[in-house]
Structure 1
Amino acid sequence: MHEQEHRLQSLLTGQNFNAESDMDEWLETAKGYAHAYAQATNGIAVLSDFQNNVNHIYSGLFGQTLGLPEYAENKNSVFEHEVFDNIPDEELVERHILELRFFRFLESVPATQKPDFNATCVVHFQRQGMPPLSVLHTTRYLLCHANGSIWLGLCTYAPFPQTNEVMEGCIINTRTGETVCLEQFDSRLLSRRQIEILSLLAKGEGSKQIADKLSISVNTVSRHRQDILTRLRVTNTAAAVEIGLRMRLI
């Protein structure tokens, strides 16, 4: 499992969930949405239950040509590894990082408005003996608890006009049609000083070197380093640097 995928799964399944009386009814309704999408578009719809670490995959004719059954339930993961196996590693990493950014963005959105947004990107399915196939991939969170925890997510996949170009992922407010400026949001994740320190870490400099260069104490550098890990939701400096580079923070 990619480190980004492991981090994302830990975030999604480790939320503070509340037991609600109508959960079974909501789950069945959401399953109906996923099934209807797959049937109407011939695409793939994946309903992820983050509270119970389960996913439900519904496949139209497009998904079935990839060898997916019309319906499958996976009780061991919220992620659709059967689908991920068709996506190149580099694109899969970018997909996971986009959802990480999406999750962080939604922390600033009221619970009732979270379902209004989705994260969209184009990935390329690899098929043996055939050219890569462009696929539009969208992630949305269907249902949130009153405390803001995201319970049900829906990921969809549908063929997209053929392109070999890398298309920038984006977050869209589906109620207003507006696209979220990720660069402006990302820039608020870290302070100016933290970005400065992360940039020096990316160059291989240690805490003592950074402290001398910025005329601050080593303890201050250490505190900033820990804050950077917390804000980017990573466990080590290498992962922080990778996220910082991919999010264009540095």
Structure 2
Amino acid sequence: MSNAFDLTGKTAAVTGGGRGLGLGISQALLEAGADVIVFGRSGIPDELTALAGRLGREVAFYALDLADSDQIAEVGARVLAEHRVDVLVNNAGTQDRYPAAEFPLEAWDRVIDVNLRSVFQLCQIFGRPMLERGEGKIVNLASLLSFQGGITVPAYAASKGGVAQLTKALCNEWSGKGVNVNAVAPGYMATEMNTALLNDPVRLEQLSVRIPAGRWGQPEDIGNVVVFLASQASAYVHGQVLAVDGGWMAR
């Protein structure tokens, strides 16, 4: 591995880092040399612990409900008392589907809280010591719906549009102070969140034929890009929302 991509000696914190895209991100960060802190609600899989052991890396778990701002503040303070966090990856998110005219406000609030408010809060908590040190990397998970509107997911689309704009806003304030803030916008990924689509032959075909790369993405496709954005290789990359979508947005 080129030195520019080497994360040896760094510690990365990943929300939702024990499953789906988050697991792929955690694995890629470990393989690049980083120790990993996983925030989540249900622990971490044995395969992640085993990978860390084989690589001589450390992986730690902190239980965290991203809908609870008080818990985020408490856990964030505890993590910073125990670790220096060099990289923050805001990966975790949630989604609800209802026609817009019938979308419950309770569901709207929860999606916005988890997908947007928690991202800003975590950027504040972990960004402050990065700014004090004059270095750090923040990678937010946006979405294709940061660019498009979607159907029956107005809260998700609004939250991910917000993540894209938040990424740019933080870049404008923090890039000159040594902190890179960027986002990754995954395309259609073969993960648990998309099980319903993957199991619907008609919808699966409709989506698949539009992907120029000819396949759905895998967690490692996102993990490898996060490593780039977390490393010195992206030193002059600021405020970008990078679509990792097999060419979807080019169609």
Per the shorter chain, which TM-score range? under 0.3
Report which structure shows greater RCO (CA 8 Å, sep ≥6).
2
Please state which structure has a larger fraction of its residues in helix. Answer: 2
Q: TM-score, normalised by structure 1?
A: 0.26
Please state which structure has a larger fraction of its residues in strand. Answer: 1
